[in-house]
């Protein structure tokens, strides 16, 4: 214990506790769960985008060796219920039924239509081939604008429209700013652009997997999910099983990035299958199934208009979005664009703002949260458009930002979108980034190469981002019609030997909670890092929580930990005073112990109090013999990390090839609990954003077939495809929480995409190129040059 008596844990680059099992292959992935008598589930999926099911027959599958049962949507129509959408963003939103197994109609390629349960996985997969389905084709619906046209074929005929909703924010109506129409009529400069956010696949490395064991008093569900607590609640609501009879376990989970923030058709089908056979059932998707069925992200058309004065001062922003919902609504599908709605004004002082989003149904896999969820899209559009504004008035992209950003002495600052940014220092982050980057030198090199007519041009891309994360103040979620709150919970259990169990309601899948939470508890209670065990992801242990997404674990869950620890100390204080024969108010908690003021050698640790509590022989009257405490924290505000990312790209004007030469990320995530983990989050986030800029796109053909159905066609970058990231930080502590922390999980992804595309466009601007559509493949870059060629 002595090490922690003198050294703070928070801020240390602790190596992770999680690593030991992950490095040696002792990890408990859901796919590794094996139970006595366990059977295997395979799912038949629609090969077409849109069709009526006119006949479906599983009888031949039932005759195959080792097959225990097979069933269709019609067989379970009365019990399968409908998958939930927890975010009906408007009163008149269209909320179509979403059966786990299609009954009469399929609406995207890959939709589940029948299931087989067999003794082993191979038998189940083989038996799928014996299922006969007749499909009567219906027209696919793929183009967002065409889908909204009069007479367009409908995804959900009973709704009479492909429009899901229209949601509007207007600063004049909200009282948070002026009228965009006035800004429009008075504008000296107007920048009007359309950007397309291509469809992406979250592409977590661990395929989704679920095991359902119906044999115990509780039905136990293991799932590779980000949201075990939400899943339990939803399973109860969908199936009618009482909530206390369901136990959900998220064991080790191999990445999520929002892609495992979902209640899956496959989870329900496995649940139904296990109920039918009365035995444990396992389902693990193949990667091809994952590409078809796991939700996708992004897929928006953004029309953004900036109004400005001749000197580049912004006077208004107008945004119109079309957001592709896909065929159904997932758990937060309609709300994803709303998470961006508050971010188009970004770090800038904007007098007037209007945002309008229309959600559109198409015959494609549903979209939902993917790393950043709404905020990367918003940040991309505004950061790209700010570069266009800079070019229009002939100033450097950094200068246009300086003229418009909120200065550090202006915090707290209430934006035109109605958010109050508690803290930030955009000047400091930008100064540090430009210095690390060598901005002036690279600009000089760019000028030389331009003058020399170098076929390989150099471009510099700027992205000065902020984002709202740490989801979320429950009252705000309520005002946005989200179906749940945004609190998080923690429990501290001090064991008789002074060791500590910390139960967290947030559910990690690679973020390093076990390490970071131990660091927080160690500092709070004066217990050694090694003496703390972090427990999570099993509703029998962690009965309550709202899980992990939206960069919320530390900024919400971490504060719950602090509060639970403080309750423990409050309970320990009278006990320590009793043992030290002094009054509780004579004690101070310092150096990891309660010490008598003026007599620092008279001290009791929390562990010593815990032993006294365990024996309970000698406690003050009326004191509960327990040092355990729970706390639930509901944030009053979001957290607002920010930073400046700079990218230097070399663009071959003859081939269209792009090479990222230098990438600098300076992020301000407030106080840092573990710099190694923060740096890792930045690296990974930045590379996912680079991947959107350069490599990734989920593509459907004109019939609605997913062309990018595997990792052969959906091109995740490898180590050879990405640059070294130079990352550094500034530290402006958040004032909205006692740790001073801000979220970091999504920041890199939000920041990096516009930095890269701005660099590419900057390289090509002398040729007349003003945009390249993502992903900026060599072909797209070459086409962009060809289109402007004289």
Residue ranges in 727-746 that form contacts with another protein under rule CB under 8 A = 727-733, 740
- Min dist CB 433 to another protein, Å, is 12
Specify whether the CB–CB gap between 487 and 476 falls below 8 A.
no
- The site string for another protein over 111-130 (x = CB under 8 A, - otherwise) reads -----------x--------
573 binds another protein (CB under 8 A): yes
- Give the pair of three-digit tokens for residue 683: 């690296």
- Close Cβ partners of 757 (under 8 Å, ≥ 6 residues apart): 380, 384, 461, 693, 772, 774, 776
Residues 6+ apart with CB under 8 A from 487: 474, 546, 556, 560, 632, 633, 634, 635
* Choice between 105 and 697, CB closer to another protein: 697
Does position 253 interact with another protein (CB under 8 A)? The reply is yes
Cα 294 from Cα 313, distance rounded (Å): 43
Among 73, 100, 177, 207, binds another protein (CB under 8 A): 207
Contacting range for another protein; rule: CB under 8 A; set: 205-213, 229-237, 440-448, 553-561: 205-213
Q: What is the DSSP string of 482-503?
A: -SS---EEEEEEE-TTS-EEEE
Residues 353-372 that bind another protein (CB under 8 A): none
> Which residue, 119 or 443, has its beta carbon nearer to another protein?
119
* Largest CA-CA distance found in the chain, in angstroms, rounded: 92
Three-class SS state of 376: helix
Q: At what angle do helices 559-580 and 606-615 cross, to 10 degrees?
A: 70
Restricted to residues 264-303, the positions that interact with another protein (CB under 8 A) are 286-288
Q: Give the binding-site size for another protein (rule: CB under 8 A).
A: 81
23 belongs to the binding site for another protein (CB under 8 A): yes
Which is nearer to another protein, 10 or 102 (by Cβ)? 10
Q: For another protein, which is the closer residue by CB, 15 or 192?
A: 15
Backbone dihedral angles phi then psi of residue 253, each to the nearest 5 degrees: -120, 130
Identify the three-state secondary structure at position 643: strand
Binding positions for another protein, 446-485, rule CB under 8 A: none
User: Alpha-carbon distance 196 to 194, whole Å?
Assistant: 7
Burial of 559 (0-12, 13-18, 19+ CB in 10 A): buried
Nearer of residues 457 and 464 to another protein, judged by Cβ: 464
| 716 counts as binding another protein under rule CB under 8 A | yes
Q: Report the sign of the C-alpha dihedral through residues 462, 464, 469, 474, in that order.
A: negative
Q: Which of 712, 786, 789, 790 binds another protein (CB under 8 A)?
A: 712
708 binds another protein (CB under 8 A): no
Distances (CA, A) of 85 to 162, 458, 680, 734: 17, 46, 32, 32
Q: How far is the CB of 745 from another protein (least distance, A)?
A: 10
Is residue 1 a contact point for another protein (CB under 8 A)?
A: no
State in Å, rounded, how far the first CA of the chain is from the last one: 73
Options 509, 552, 578, 645; binder of another protein; rule CB under 8 A: 509
Nearer to another protein, 412 or 680 (CB): 680
Q: Give phi and psi for 647, each to the nearest 5.
A: -130, 135
Using the contact rule CB under 8 A, the part of the chain among 46-54, 172-180, 523-531, 770-778 near another protein is 523-531
- The residues, ordered by sequence, that sit 6+ positions from 398 with a Cβ below 8 Å of its Cβ are 430, 434, 439, 462
Q: In whole angstroms, how close is the CB of 336 to another protein at the nearest point? A: 20
> How many other β-carbons are positioned within 10 Å of the β-carbon of residue 616?
11
> Does residue number 720 form part of the binding site for another protein (CB under 8 A)?
yes
Q: How far is the CB of 485 from another protein (least distance, A)?
A: 26
Q: Which of residues 633-692 bind another protein (CB under 8 A)?
A: 671-672, 675-677, 679-680, 683-688
Return the number of the residue (348 or 633) whose C-beta is nearest another protein.
Answer: 633
16 binds another protein per the rule CB under 8 A:
yes
Q: Which is nearer to another protein, 29 or 767 (CB)?
A: 29
Is 408 a binder of another protein (CB under 8 A)? no
- Residues 762, 387 contacting (CB under 8 angstroms): yes
CB 609 within 8 A of CB 623: no
Q: How far is the CB of 491 from another protein (least distance, A)?
A: 18
Q: What minimum distance in Å lies between the beta carbon of 350 and another protein?
A: 28
Q: Of the candidates 167, 204, 361, 695, which one interacts with another protein according to CB under 8 A?
A: 204
Confirm or reject binding of residue 589 to another protein (CB under 8 A).
yes
Nearer to another protein, 367 or 524 (CB): 524
CB 693 within 8 A of CB 531: no
Q: Which residue, 30 or 415, is less far from another protein as judged by CB?
A: 30
The CA–CA distances, whole Å, from 568 to 292, 595, 666 equal 48, 16, 37
Exactly one of 164, 203, 219, 339 binds another protein (CB under 8 A); that residue is 203
Nearest one of 308, 254, 315 to 284, comparing CA atoms: 254
Q: Minimum Å distance from CB 739 to another protein?
A: 10
Residue 258 CB, shortest distance to another protein, in Å, is: 12
Segment interacting with another protein, rule: CB under 8 A, options 61-69, 625-633, 643-651, 713-721? 713-721
Residue of 252, 377, 422, 488 that binds another protein (CB under 8 A): 252
Alpha carbons 3 and 8: distance in angstroms, whole number: 9
What's the closest the beta carbon of residue 5 comes to another protein, in angstroms?
8
Query: Is residue 226 classed exposed, middle or buried when 0-12, 13-18 and 19+ CB atoms within 10 A define those classes?
Result: buried
Q: Which of 519, 524, 539, 644 binds another protein (CB under 8 A)?
A: 524
| 513 forms part of the interface with another protein (CB under 8 A) | no
304 DSSP β-pair partners: 193, 319
Cα 577 to Cα 103, 210, 603, 789: the distances in Å are: 68, 51, 9, 82
Residues in region 25-84 near another protein by CB under 8 A: 25-27, 29, 31-32
The answer to whether residue 722 forms part of the interface with another protein (CB under 8 A) is yes
Kindly state the smallest distance separating residue 726's Cβ from another protein, in Å.
9
59, 497, 636, 710: which one contacts another protein (CB under 8 A)? Answer: 710
Footprint (CB under 8 A) of another protein, residues 597-636: none
Q: How many CB atoms lie within 10 A of CB 760?
A: 29
């Amino acid at each position: 214990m002595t090490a922690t008596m003198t050294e703070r844990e928070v801020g240390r680059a602790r190596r992770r506790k999680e690593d030991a099992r992950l490095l040696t292959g002792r990890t408990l992935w859901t796919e590794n769960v094996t139970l006595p008598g366990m059977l295997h589930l395979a799912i038949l999926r629609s090969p077409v985008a849109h069709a009526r099911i006119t006949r479906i027959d599983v009888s031949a599958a039932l005759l195959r060796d080792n097959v225990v049962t097979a069933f269709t949507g019609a067989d379970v129509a009365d019990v399968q219920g409908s998958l939930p959408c927890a975010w009906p963003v408007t009163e008149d939103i269209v909320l179509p039924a979403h059966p786990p197994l299609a009954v009469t109609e399929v609406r995207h390629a890959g939709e589940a239509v029948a299931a087989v349960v067999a003794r082993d996985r191979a038998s189940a997969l083989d038996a799928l081939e014996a299922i006969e389905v007749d499909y009567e084709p219906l027209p696919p619906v793929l183009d967002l604008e065409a889908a909204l046209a009069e007479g367009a074929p409908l995804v959900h005929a009973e709704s009479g429209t492909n429009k899901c909703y229209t949601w509007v924010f207007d600063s004049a109506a909200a009282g948070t700013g002026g009228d965009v129409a006035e800004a429009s009529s008075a504008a000296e400069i107007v920048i009007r652009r359309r950007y397309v956010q291509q469809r992406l696949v979250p592409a977590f490395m661990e395929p989704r997997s679920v095991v359902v064991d119906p044999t115990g008093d509780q039905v136990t569900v293991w799932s590779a999910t980000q949201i075990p607590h939400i899943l339990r609640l939803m399973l109860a609501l969908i199936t009618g099983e009482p909530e206390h009879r369901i136990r959900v376990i998220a064991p080790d989970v191999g990445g999520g990035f929002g892609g495992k923030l979902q209640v899956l058709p496959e989870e329900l089908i496995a649940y139904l299958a296990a109920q039918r056979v009365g035995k444990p059932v396992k389902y693990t998707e193949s990667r091809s199934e994952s590409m078809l069925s796991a939700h996708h992200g992004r897929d928006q058309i953004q029309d953004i208009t900036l109004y400005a004065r001749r000197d580049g001062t912004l006077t208004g922003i107008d945004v119109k979005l079309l957001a592709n919902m896909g065929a159904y609504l997932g758990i937060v599908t309609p709300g994803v664009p709303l998470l961006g709605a508050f971010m188009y004004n970004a770090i800038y002082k904007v007098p007037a703002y209007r945002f309008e989003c229309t959600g559109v149904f198409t015959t494609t896999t549903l979209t939902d949260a993917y790393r950043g969820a709404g905020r990367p899209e918003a940040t991309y559009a505004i950061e790209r458009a700010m570069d266009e504004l800079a070019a229009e008035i002939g100033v450097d992209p950094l200068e246009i930002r300086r003229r418009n950003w909120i200065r550090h002495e202006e915090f707290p600052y209430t934006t035109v979108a109605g958010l109050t940014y508690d803290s930030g220092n955009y000047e400091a982050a930008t100064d540090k980034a430009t210095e690390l980057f060598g901005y002036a030198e690279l600009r000089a090199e760019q000028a030389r190469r331009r003058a020399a007519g170098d076929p390989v041009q150099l471009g510099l891309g700027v992205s000065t981002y902020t984002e709202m994360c740490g989801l979320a103040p429950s009252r705000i979620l309520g005002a946005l019609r989200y179906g749940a709150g945004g609190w998080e919970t923690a429990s501290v259990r001090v064991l008789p030997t002074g060791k500590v169990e910390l139960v967290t309601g947030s559910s990690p899948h690679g973020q390093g909670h076990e390490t970071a939470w131990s660091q927080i508890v160690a500092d709070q209670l004066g217990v050694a890092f090694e003496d703390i065990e972090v427990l999570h992801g099993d509703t029998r242990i962690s009965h309550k929580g709202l899980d992990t997404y939206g960069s919320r674990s530390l900024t919400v869950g971490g504060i719950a930990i602090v509060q639970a620890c403080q309750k423990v100390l409050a309970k320990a204080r009278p006990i320590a005073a009793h043992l030290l024969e002094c009054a509780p108010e004579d004690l101070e908690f310092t150096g990891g112990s309660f010490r008598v003021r003026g007599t620092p050698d008279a001290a009791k640790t929390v562990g010593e109090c815990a032993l006294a509590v365990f024996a309970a022989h000698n406690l003050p009257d009326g004191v509960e013999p327990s040092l355990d405490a729970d706390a639930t924290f509901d944030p009053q505000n979001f957290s607002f990390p920010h930073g400046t990312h700079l990218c230097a790209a070399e663009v071959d004007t003859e081939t269209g090839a792009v090479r990222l030469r230098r990438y600098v990320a300076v992020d301000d995530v407030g106080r840092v609990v573990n710099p190694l983990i923060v740096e890792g989050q930045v690296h990974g986030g930045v590379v996912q954003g680079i991947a959107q800029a350069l490599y990734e796109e989920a593509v459907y053909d004109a019939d609605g077939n997913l062309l990018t159905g595997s990792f052969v066609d959906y091109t995740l970058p490898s180590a050879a495809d990405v640059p070294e990231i130079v990352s550094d930080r500034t530290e402006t502590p958040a004032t909205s929480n006692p740790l001073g922390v801000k979220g970091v999980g999504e920041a890199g992804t939000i920041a990096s995409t516009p930095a890269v595309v701005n660099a590419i466009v900057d390289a090509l601007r002398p040729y007349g190129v003003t945009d390249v559509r993502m992903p900026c493949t060599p072909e797209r870059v070459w086409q962009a040059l060809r289109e402007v060629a004289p």
